[in-house]
Every structure is written in structure tokens, then in C-alpha cells.
Amino acid sequence: MKKIFLIILIVGLPFSVIGSIFHLPSLLMFAVYCLTIIALASFMGRATESLTIVAGPRIGGLLNATFGNAVELIISIFSLKAGLIGVVLASLTGSVIGNLLLVLGLSFFMGGLKFKVQKFNVYDARHNSGLLMFAVIVAFVIPEMFTQNMSETKTISLSIGISIIMILLYLAALFFKLVTHRGVYHTQESEENIEQEEPEWSKGRATLVLALATLAVAYTSERLVHTFDAVGEQLGWSELFIGIIIVAIVGNAAEHASAVLMAMKNKMDVAVEIAVGSTLQIAMFVAPILVLVSLLFPVSMPLVFTMPEIIAMATSVLLTIIIANDGESNWFEGATLLAAYLIMGIGFYLL
């Protein structure tokens, strides 16, 4: 698989540059850009996995989520610049349901096929449950009620206020987990899941790969955004479907691969931290940052989602909390999460 991604990268990156210069067909270039970003994401995943071995499951999971979300953040900023507010909001929705249902579901399912029952830190799971409820139910659903009778200016002001509060609480949550309460919720199961192994790359090489891959993703993402309109018209895809399914899957490819790989190695603390941690980072940091960044562009982005998006996110959070709150997983629970994702995917495709 590593060789395949390397070949895709060697072919895809130069072809991306050539295709943009000579204005090759949008559908062809859309496929090339997506494959190239996925290949780059695989290298980002390998680099963060090396850093995970050195730094430990919590910091490693945070690093993986951060650099995985960097791809989507870059795509979203260029989408905002192009005025594609709907695509950005849809991609945020897609990231939430994708990480909770697709990534976590695949991790539970693939890991469960290899191990009958897998355990992870139950205290982390319960801590994350509260943050998920706040990030999606409180910060996304409740503002929808207030904005029904608000002017556009007041809606933007509310979005800015919510964004600042969410960023501050997210930073406080990191400080809580990594500083003031680091190791307080340590469990024996967590210790048993950690295997001694050598990182694939050194810390310096892994950091260099992350930096170069992020730069390459920035260029490719900028080109990808320009193909959305043409591809949507040719394939009959709505802006909502492109954002929720396509952008979310491509933008989170690094986390998808890394979380499943960790689950198959029975490192469930890392797998869950990647999937759930990435969701929290998207909802509490990336989304608010995009709201603030949009103020620099002609069209500002309010933190207001459509009703199908809100229901999909809220349902994903509640289902994840019910399944993951006991600190144990198996393949059937993974299949349940995947089934929910497929149902939502069909629904958004038909909208």
C-alpha cells in the first residue's frame, strides 16, 4: 500500500501542476487532485504515527488529528475565498459524521474482526462525551433557534461570539487533559494496549515530511476547489453532497488510515483519540477559526447549518456516546456506526 501511495504521489503531483497549466478537463483533474491529496495524507499519517510512538497516545492522537484536519482547513479556506460557504459548512458536517461514524466505525469493525473485545480509556470516553454534547448540541443546535428571527448582521455577531467561546473552551480542554489532569485517568487497559515498537521515521524526518506534505496539500487543495462547480454540474452532485461526503473523506484521509491501523494493532486509545479528538477539533477549533477567517473575505460565514446537517450531527454524537461510553468496542458496534453513515450518505446524495 505504501508503494501504491508513493507511485500516486510521484505521478499525481506533477500531473496536478501540468493539468492546471494546460486547463485539462475538470472531471479528470478532480480525480487527480483527490488521489494526490489522499496520497499526501498517507504520508502525513505515517509521519504522525512515528511521532505518536515517541510522544504517547494522547499527544500522538492530537498530532494526528491536527495535521489530518490541516488538510480540510486548507481546502475550506480556499473554498471561503471562492465564496463557497455552503461547501464549507457541509464539509464541517461531513467531518463530524465522518469521524464519528465512518472512521470510528471502521476502527471498531476492523479491530473487532481481529480482537473479540477491545478496550480503551473509559474516563477519556466520558470526558469526550461531554465535550461532544457541548460542541454539537449546544454550540451548533441552540444557535439555530436564535438566528430564526435575526438579521444577517446579528447572525454574524452571534457566530463570532460562539466561535471565540468555543476556541477558549477547546484550549482549556487541552490544558485539562495534557497538563493539570495528565495521567489522572490512567488505566491498566491503556497500559496493556501500548506495544513497544520503533518509529518508522525519526522525529526530524517525520516533522520535515509533515511540513512538505502540508505545503503540497495547500497547492493541490486550492486547485481542487476550482473544479467543484464543473464536477457538480457534470455528475449531478449537489453542493451539499460534495461538501459532506467528498471534501470530508478527502480532507480526513490521514485520520481514516491512521485510526484503522491503530485499531488493528489493538491501540484503541490512540484510535479513539484520533476519531473523537478530530471531531472535537473540527467542531470547537476549525469551524470557529473558519468563521473568523471568513471576516477577511467579501462574504462572511455564519455558524448556521441546515436542518438535515444539524440532525445528522446530533444523531452521530448521540449514537457515538451510547456505543463508546463503556470503554469497550467490538465489530458489531463498528458495523452499527457504519450503517448509520451509509444511511446518511444516501440521504444527502438524494437531497
Tell me the domains of the chain and their CATH numbers. Answer: 2-350 (1.20.1420.30)
Amino acid letter for position 40: L
Alpha carbons within 13 A on the beta-carbon side of 114: 15
* 204 class by beta-carbon count within 10 Å (0-12 exposed, 13-18 middle, 19+ buried): exposed
Q: What is the percentage of the chain residues whose pLDDT exceeds 90?
A: 38
Q: Give the pLDDT band of residue 185 (cuts 50, 70, 90).
A: low
Q: Name the DSSP class of 187.
A: -
Listed in sequence order, the residues at least 6 apart from 181 whose beta carbon sits closer than 8 Å to its beta carbon are none
Angle of CA points 43, 49, 51, to nearest 5°: 110
Alpha carbons within 13 A on the beta-carbon side of 134: 18
Of the listed ranges 48-62, 147-161, 199-213, 290-304, the one predicted with least confidence: 48-62
- Please give the average per-residue pLDDT across 83-105, as a whole number: 91
Cα–Cα distance for residue pair 324/327, rounded to 1 Å: 6
> Quick one: pLDDT at residue 193?
47
Q: Report phi then psi at 114, rounded to 5.
A: -95, -35
pLDDT at residue 318 is higher than 80: yes
Angle of CA points 292, 293, 295, to nearest 5°: 75
- Please give the average per-residue pLDDT across 129-151, as a whole number: 85
Q: Give the pLDDT band of residue 338 (cuts 50, 70, 90).
A: very high
Cα–Cα distance for residue pair 139/142, rounded to 1 Å: 6
Cα–Cα distance for residue pair 97/118, rounded to 1 Å: 22
Cα–Cα distance for residue pair 196/202, rounded to 1 Å: 16
Cα–Cα distance for residue pair 166/143, rounded to 1 Å: 13
> Quick one: pLDDT at residue 328?
92
> Quick one: pLDDT at residue 196?
59
Query: Per-residue pLDDT tens for 240-298?
Result: 888 888 877 876 776 677 788 889 889 888 888 888 888 998 999 999 999 999 999 99
β-pair partners for 119: 328
Cα–Cα distance list, 120 to 100, 135, 181, 190 (Å): 16, 22, 18, 6
* Three-state SS at 329: strand
- Please give the average per-residue pLDDT across 82-95, as a whole number: 89
* Three-state SS at 304: coil
CB atoms under 10 Å from CB of 350, counted, come to: 8
Element (H, E) at 118: strand 118-119
> Quick one: pLDDT at residue 194?
47
pLDDT at residue 105 is higher than 90: yes
* 30 class by beta-carbon count within 10 Å (0-12 exposed, 13-18 middle, 19+ buried): buried
- Please give the average per-residue pLDDT across 65-87, as a whole number: 82
> Quick one: pLDDT at residue 1?
67
pLDDT at residue 310 is higher than 90: yes
Q: How does the average pLDDT of the chain come out, rounded?
A: 85
Residues 144-171 as b/e (b if ≥16 CB within 10 A, e otherwise) read eeebeeeeeeebbebbbebbeebbebbe
* 133 class by beta-carbon count within 10 Å (0-12 exposed, 13-18 middle, 19+ buried): middle
Listed in sequence order, the residues at least 6 apart from 314 whose beta carbon sits closer than 8 Å to its beta carbon are 136, 137, 140, 141
Q: Report phi then psi at 328, rounded to 5.
A: -135, 155
